[in-house]
Amino acid sequence: MASSPAETSKSIKLERYNSYIRRVNSTKLLNASSKLLFRATLLVALILVFLFTFNYPPLADTTTHTHTHTHSHFLSFSSAAWEKQVRHSATTRRPNAMIVLVTGAAGFVGSHCSLALKKRGDGVVGLDNFNPYYDPSLKRAREAMLGKHQVMIVEGDLNDTPLLQKLLDVVAFTHILHLAAQAGVRYAMQNPQSYVTANIAGFVNLLEAAKSANPQPAIVWASSSSVYGLNTQNPFSELHRTDQPASLYAATKKAGEEIAHTYNHIYGLSLTGLRFFTVYGPWGRPDMAYFFFTKDILQGKPIQVYETPQGKQVARDFTYIDDVVKGCLGALDTAEKSTGSGGKKRGPAQLRVYNLGNTSPVAVGRLVSILEGLLKTKAKKHVIKMPSNGDVPYTHANVTLAFRDFSYKPTTDLPTGLRKFVKWYLAYYGLHTRVNKETHSSSSFS
Ligand SMILES: O=C(O)[C@H]1O[C@H](OP(=O)(O)OP(=O)(O)OC[C@H]2O[C@@H](n3ccc(=O)[nH]c3=O)[C@H](O)[C@@H]2O)[C@H](O)[C@@H](O)[C@H]1O
């Protein structure tokens, strides 16, 4: 049926009105869905910000699932590219080479040992959590130096079990050189928990991963001269008592020696503990006296030199880094294989402890005089009684055992070693004034 013109115009208007309403509604719908989308995006963004800000999942998981490397950053630790880099770093370049996981590789002794191993053709993979106990930029500089020699440091924590398992799965390490630890004798009064976490829990976690690995690696690890504690027999021999630690640091290192015994006994892990005696040298630790004395003397700041409660000089068997590196490599070279497999002991395994010292203690006052000479600056020296915060009056190593078993023989005296340290210090921090030309002799770590 045909419609009238009036009806037609009314129906056209109605149609236009309906179409207008549909457009308005669809725009409203669009606006509503955009708003919904916007709110959802905001919510997701807020959740992400929360997760990153409050570090969830916990640090042990987040930091260790990534790593830095000179060529690429933050690869997932399970990615094929990450595994390739780890294997590349573990590549050996000599017959019968060892493949070593070095924990604490961005640390003082760890970086030196990693480089020495790599230079002689061994495969090396580092592990370090880059914690801020002392300036992490120094650890990054050591990492960069190792990167130039194709040594990769995986950024991760000893307490990250999946990471350790992954590393031991990806590479059949023959050895672990375990140097990662919470160091420092006096800092244990300020942050006791950090010593338990790194030196006890972290060590156990590493041993757990090692005992389950196939093959089980042999382990050489850093104990400390501080385990001799209040021992008065002199020089310190491995046969002397070590059941009187004077600091929590010493107690955790002594606990490590007992834990090593347990894992050797139950699982057949080959374990060698090295008692380091106040190691110093280029690329050293800024928390140690020789290092911050150098800084304070150059800045004209006062330094405190401790004396015993009886007014005697405090002394240390200061040991130069190159001598300690030789000792570490000697211990690795003579470490026998672990005997267990699949987490089970198959026979008795090697268990050893050695002193790595210099065998000639030097008073701290003499250390200061040597630095004054090298820096051509008089120290503002205050002699005070040694605070009772874990320190011991003197250390002195007997190294007969290490000499017998791997020809360990320290060859660097304190003036020679400090000269090399000062040369490095001035170059590293860009300070070249007021210093003896003599200090510009050769350095060990370049
Ligand atoms: O052999 C070890 O196993 C340990 O060695 C190192 O400990 P220590 O021998 O105590 O070194 P370090 O602090 O440099 O003090 C050196 C001397 O300066 C004296 N000292 C110290 C500070 C100060 O302000 N004044 C001072 O006279 C102080 O009394 C001491 O006589 C490592 O840090 C430690 O991690 C561990 O490895």
* Cα–Cα distance measured from residue 335 to residue 347, given in angstroms and rounded to the nearest whole number: 16
Q: Whose CA is nearest to atom 4 of ligand 1?
A: 278
- Residue minimizing CA distance to atom 33 of ligand 1: 184
Residue 4 has pLDDT above 50, yes or no: no
Query: Tell me: the pLDDT tens digits for 373-405?
Result: 999 999 999 999 998 888 999 999 999 999 999
pLDDT band at 39 (very low <50, low <70, confident <90, very high): low
Cα–Cα distance measured from residue 175 to residue 285, given in angstroms and rounded to the nearest whole number: 25
**Mean per-residue pLDDT, 423-441:** 74
pLDDT beyond 80 at 413: yes
More confident call, 42 vs 53: 42
pLDDT over 70 (residue 135): yes
User: Residue 279 CA: which ligand 1 atom is closest?
Assistant: 5
**376: number of Cβ within 10 Å:** 12
Q: Sorting pLDDT into bands at 50, 70 and 90, what band is 409?
A: very high
Give the mean pLDDT of the chain: 86
Gap between the Cα atoms of 231 and 392, Å rounded = 9
Residue 51 confidence (pLDDT): 42
Q: Which of 238, 125, 108 is nearest to 177 (CA)?
A: 125
pLDDT at 38: 58
Work out which ligand 1 atom sits closest to the CA atom of 394: 31
Kindly report which listed range (40-54, 206-220, 279-293, 328-342) carries the lowest average pLDDT score: 40-54
Are 123 and 151 a contacting pair, CB within 8 Å? no
Ligand 1 atom having least distance to the Cα of 316: 31
- pLDDT band for position 77 (cuts 50, 70, 90): confident
Q: Nearest C-alpha to atom 6 of ligand 1 is from which residue?
A: 278
Q: Is the CB of residue 264 less than 8 Å from the CB of residue 343?
A: no
User: Which of the listed residues 254, 313, 316, 356 should we mutate to test ligand 1's pocket, taking the one with most ligand atoms within 8 A of CB?
Assistant: 316
Q: Report pLDDT digits (tens) over 338-357.
A: 999 888 999 999 999 999 99
Residue 51: how many other CB atoms lie within 10 Å? 12
Q: What is the mean predicted confidence (pLDDT) over 207-227?
A: 97
Report whether pLDDT(217) > 60.
yes
Residue 50 has pLDDT above 70, yes or no: no
Residue 222 has pLDDT above 50, yes or no: yes
- Which of 227, 257, 364 to mutate to test ligand 1, by most ligand atoms within 8 A of the CB atom? 364
Question: Does 58 have pLDDT greater than 90?
Answer: no
| Higher-scoring residue by pLDDT: 352, 60 | 352
The Å distance, Cα 410 to ligand 1 centre, comes to 19
Active site residue 249: yes
The pLDDT of residue 6 is above 80: no
**CA–CA separation, 286 and 288 (whole Å):** 5
Separation of 431 CA from ligand 1 center, angstroms? 25
pLDDT at residue 103 is higher than 70: yes
Token pair belonging to 300: 């004209």
Count Cβ atoms below 10 Å from residue 133 Cβ, excluding itself.
19
Task: Write down the pLDDT at residue 249.
Answer: 98
Backbone torsions φ then ψ of 248, nearest 5 degrees: -65, -35
Catalytic option among 133, 134, 195, 249 = 249
Q: Give 78's pLDDT tier (boundaries 50, 70, 90).
A: confident
Q: Measuring from atom 10 of ligand 1, which residue has the nearest CA?
A: 185
Name the residue with the closest Cα to ligand 1, atom 16.
Answer: 289
- Nearest C-alpha to atom 25 of ligand 1 is from which residue? 305
- What's residue 61's pLDDT? 28
Cα 46 to chain center, whole Å? 34
Q: State yes or no: pLDDT of 223 exceeds 50.
A: yes
Q: Among 221, 278, 355, which is best to mutate for testing ligand 1, by the most ligand atoms less than 8 A from CB?
A: 278
pLDDT > 70 in the chain, percent: 80
Question: Residue 76: what pLDDT?
Answer: 77
The Å distance, Cα 316 to ligand 1 centre, comes to 8
Residue 438: pLDDT over 50: no
Ligand 1 mean position, distance from CA 131 (Å): 20
Confidence at residue 437, expressed as pLDDT on a 0 to 100 scale: 52
Distance, CA of 308 to CA of 122 (rounded, Å): 45
- Report the interhelical angle of 289-298 vs 414-428 (nearest 10°): 60
Question: pLDDT confidence of 151, banded at 50, 70, 90?
Answer: very high
Report the pLDDT value the prediction gives residue 71, as an integer from 0 to 100: 35
Q: How far is the CA of 278 from the centre of ligand 1 (A)?
A: 6
Distance 19 CA to ligand 1 centre (A): 86
| Predicted confidence band of residue 9 (pLDDT cuts 50, 70, 90) | very low
Distance 196 CA to ligand 1 centre (A): 20
Which pLDDT band, with edges at 50, 70 and 90, does 441 fall under? very low
Counting atoms of ligand 1 from 1, which one is nearest the CA of 280?
14
**Residues 185-195 pLDDT 10s:** 999 999 999 99
**Structure ipTM over 0.95, yes or no:** yes
Mean pLDDT of 171-197: 97
391 CA → ligand 1 middle, Å? 7
Q: Give the closest residue (by CA) to ligand 1 atom 9.
A: 278
Residues framing ligand 1 (Cβ under 6 A): 183-185, 224-226, 276-278, 288-289, 304-306, 314, 316, 364, 386, 391
| pLDDT at residue 33, rounded to an integer | 53
Helices and strands of the chain, counted as H and E runs: 14, 13
**Can you tell me the distance from the alpha carbon of 282 to that of 284, in angstroms, rounded to the nearest whole number?**
5
Cβ partners under 8 Å of residue 304, min gap 6: 382, 383, 384
Query: Per-residue pLDDT averaged across 221-248, rounded?
Result: 97
